[in-house]
Structure 1
Amino acid sequence: MLDESAKGVFTIAVTPFLPDGSLDLDSVDRVTDFYLEQGATGLTILGMMGEAGKLSAGESLAVIRRVTARVTIPVVVGVSAAGLAPMQALAVEAMQAGAAGVMVAPPHTLRSDGQIVSYYHSVVEALGEIPWVLQDFPLATGVQIPTSVIAQIVADCPTCVMLKHEDWPGLDKISALRAASEAGARRISILCGNGGLFLPEEMARGADGAMTGFAYPEMMAQVIAAIEGGGADRAQDIFDAYLPMARYEGQPGLGLAIRKYTLAKRGAIAHPTLRKPGAALNAAGMAEVDRLAARQAVRLAALG
């Protein structure tokens, strides 16, 4: 079961498709193995980057079962939905299939602090004893969750064991939550997203690791290992070598197409297909990614 001690790299997995848009379960196996080989300590599936909203209920369950049957590391399943009933149903099926916990983002209809707290109280009622991750991603959801509201949810909801921190700017939020823990509040795991763009700073502020889908997940693993080993400068050097690619991949609306193209080039998935509707990377974009990858390889070789 997922708990407050979770740390490391929970890679957010893509959902692979064949060129006709059908689910590619063979590539689900392949990319799962790839994430493990690159240092994942956990996996997050059916998130926003996993194109969860484009899958049928049957397809979602097929992906969950395929991944959980293949790994022994914790698997977190995104179960965000417009209503509590489908959320509850998928969460129960995920846990029965061997998931460690689920992740819930706030619906875009929430506006006030009170509405946000009330919503997550309802989530707890729906999920029962299932451990869950609070996804704080205002750039995608449109819902701003202040630090005080997160603290209230953590205090009220013992089954909330992790914050998926993806606010931007949000470093002060990490500091405030850790200060609250030092003052006696319950400490939960904080794993950070945003493509890893702020990972060194997030770790310095008290994050426990990364939960993101950057197409070079070994970057996160290497940076975190270097920091934990006391090599902050080494961690920064590693991060800097990957930064141009992470920056390019961070383009709103195109990031997933870039990630899937890179993963296909790396042999992790058979095809870079996004299920429609979805952006596609054109020839110029592919050439830019290839150039960045070549320069990245040279910088990494120089690091030794």
Structure 2
Amino acid sequence: MWTGVIPAVTTKFKPDGSLDHAEMERCFSVQMEAGCEGIIVCGSLGEGPMLSHDERIAVLQRAQSVTKGKPTLLTVAEAGTREACELAAKAAKAGASGLMVVPSPIYHTDPAETVETLRAVAAAGDLPVMIYSNRVAYRVDVTPEIMEELAADPRFVAIKESSDDIRRTTEIINRLGDRYAVLTGVDNLALEALAVGACGWVAGLVCAFPAETVAIYRLMQAGRLKEALAIYRWFRPLLDLDVSTYLVQNIKLAEALAINSTEHVRGPRKPLSGARREAVEAIVRKAIETRPALPAAA
């Protein structure tokens, strides 16, 4: 359940801002057909904080209709622990496979508060939990020491490692062995993380380029580093678009160009424009024009 490429998908909207279920179903299906091992909805890339709880459950259910039994996770990233617990319980009732949980993105918890919050949300949902450790975006570092403190609770099963320090993957494995499934969550550190023991990739640019993302993962698992590295080097300018304040707009533009999807976002975001749009579009178009042939066995 906690291996392979698991897209953190974008949420699709109609021009009036309502959920576009048909386009989500189409785009989610593209991911599954490429060989992805599940879907995570309503994270940062999925504009979760801009959605009501009911909308998030609706997106979860749309993904479930496509994943056909493969893991479908809902992201819990609420300002308050009470609201996080409420959402976790709703996700469980809706049949989510698990949760990806972020400590409060508004109040930056200290280690004791982080542990208490994560335990409360896990208990409320009573589902398998992937801990999202992203000190860069959320300013809370879920450290290996915190992971060790939580290890006695079997509901904590995986880590989305997004500390932006490639050494962290090895530190987790050295300290905790195989207690947690460690998945890389930084697109432009993915190959490096897979090389040192990450067993999965929670990916963003996969939304626009699923075949290439899955190929890199499978080649790395097969020990075919040279072939994986060639694709990764081509992919790198695209992967850098995930590490940006504008990651949602960047990736939605990439989806529009690569898989003919839409760019509608929820305010206060606006689609890219001007020089920023031109720069991102140039990167995506060049990638499409120079797309590498993928190894047959990947």
Query: Among 214, 233, 249, which residue is 2:226 paired with?
Result: 233
User: How big is the shift at 1:283?
Assistant: 4.3
Contact 1:17–1:274 (Cα < 8 Å) also in 2: yes
Q: Provide, for residues 104-159 of structure 1, a one-character-per-residue CA deviation record: whole Å limited to 9, x for no partner.
A: 101143443222222223233323x3111111011221112222122222x23210
User: Which residue of structure 1 lines up, in the alignment, with residue 215 of structure 2?
Assistant: 222
User: Which residue of structure 2 lines up, in the alignment, with residue 66 of structure 1?
Assistant: 62
Contact 1:27–1:268 (Cα < 8 Å) also in 2: no
Query: Among 116, 124, 129, which residue is 1:126 paired with?
Result: 124
User: Which residue of structure 2 lines up, in the alignment, with residue 257 of structure 1?
Assistant: 249
| Larger RCO: 1 or 2 (CA < 8 Å, sep 6+) | 1
Please state whether the residue corresponding to 1:69 is helix, strand or coil: helix
Q: Provide, for residues 55-103 of structure 1, a one-character-per-residue CA deviation record: whole Å limited to 9, x for no partner.
A: 1222122211111122222111112223334333332332333321011
Please state whether the residue corresponding to 2:291 is helix, strand or coil: helix
Shift in CA distance, 245/86, structure 1 to aligned 2, threshold 3 Å: same
Contact 2:79–2:107 (Cα < 8 Å) also in 1: no
RMSD: 2.1
Shift in CA distance, 31/221, structure 1 to aligned 2, threshold 3 Å: same
Please state whether the residue corresponding to 1:300 is helix, strand or coil: coil
Please state if 1:291 is matched with 2:282: yes
How many angstroms apart in 2 are the aligned matches of 1:135 and 1:71?
Answer: 22
What code does the residue aligned with 2:112 have? G
What code does the residue aligned with 1:255 have? L
How many angstroms apart in 2 are the aligned matches of 1:187 and 1:103?
Answer: 17
Contact 1:78–1:104 (Cα < 8 Å) also in 2: yes
User: Which residue of structure 1 lines up, in the alignment, with residue 73 of structure 2?
Assistant: 76
Shift in CA distance, 65/251, structure 1 to aligned 2, threshold 3 Å: closer
User: Which residue of structure 2 lines up, in the alignment, with residue 181 of structure 1?
Assistant: 176
Shift in CA distance, 83/286, structure 1 to aligned 2, threshold 3 Å: closer
Please state if 1:172 is matched with 2:167: yes
Please state whether the residue corresponding to 1:176 is helix, strand or coil: helix
What code does the residue aligned with 1:225 have? R
User: Which residue of structure 1 lines up, in the alignment, with residue 199 of structure 2?
Assistant: 208
How many angstroms apart in 1 are the aligned matches of 2:26 and 2:42?
Answer: 16
Unaligned runs of 5+ in 2: none
Please state if 1:56 is matched with 2:52: yes
User: How big is the shift at 1:168?
Assistant: 1.2
Q: What percent identity do the matched residue pairs reach?
A: 24
Please state if 1:280 is matched with 2:271: yes
How many angstroms apart in 2 are the aligned matches of 1:268 and 1:187?
Answer: 41
Equivalenced residue count is 291
Q: Provide, for residues 11-31 of structure 1, a one-character-per-residue CA deviation record: whole Å limited to 9, x for no partner.
A: 001001112222111111111
What code does the residue aligned with 1:281 have? L
User: How big is the shift at 1:291?
Assistant: 2.8
- Judge which range, 90-99 or 222-231, deviates more: 90-99
Q: Report 1:98-113 matches (<5 A).
A: 98-107=95-104, 108-113=106-111
What code does the residue aligned with 2:66 have? R
Shift in CA distance, 67/124, structure 1 to aligned 2, threshold 3 Å: closer
User: How big is the shift at 1:204?
Assistant: 1.4
Shift in CA distance, 287/165, structure 1 to aligned 2, threshold 3 Å: same
Shift in CA distance, 113/89, structure 1 to aligned 2, threshold 3 Å: closer
What code does the residue aligned with 2:247 have? G
How many angstroms apart in 2 are the aligned matches of 1:301 and 1:57?
Answer: 41
Please state if 1:35 is matched with 2:27: no
Contact 2:88–2:124 (Cα < 8 Å) also in 1: no
Q: Provide, for residues 184-242 of structure 1, a one-character-per-residue CA deviation record: whole Å limited to 9, x for no partner.
A: xx521111112x10111101121011102113233321111111122111111110011
Query: Among 115, 118, 123, which residue is 1:117 paired with?
Result: 115
Compute the TM-score of the two structures, normalised by the length of structure 1. Answer: 0.88
How many angstroms apart in 2 are the aligned matches of 1:284 and 1:63?
Answer: 32
How many angstroms apart in 2 are the aligned matches of 1:123 and 1:64?
Answer: 18
Please state whether the residue corresponding to 1:263 is helix, strand or coil: helix
Shift in CA distance, 221/17, structure 1 to aligned 2, threshold 3 Å: same
Please state if 1:46 is matched with 2:9: no
Compute the TM-score of the two structures, normalised by the length of structure 2. Answer: 0.89
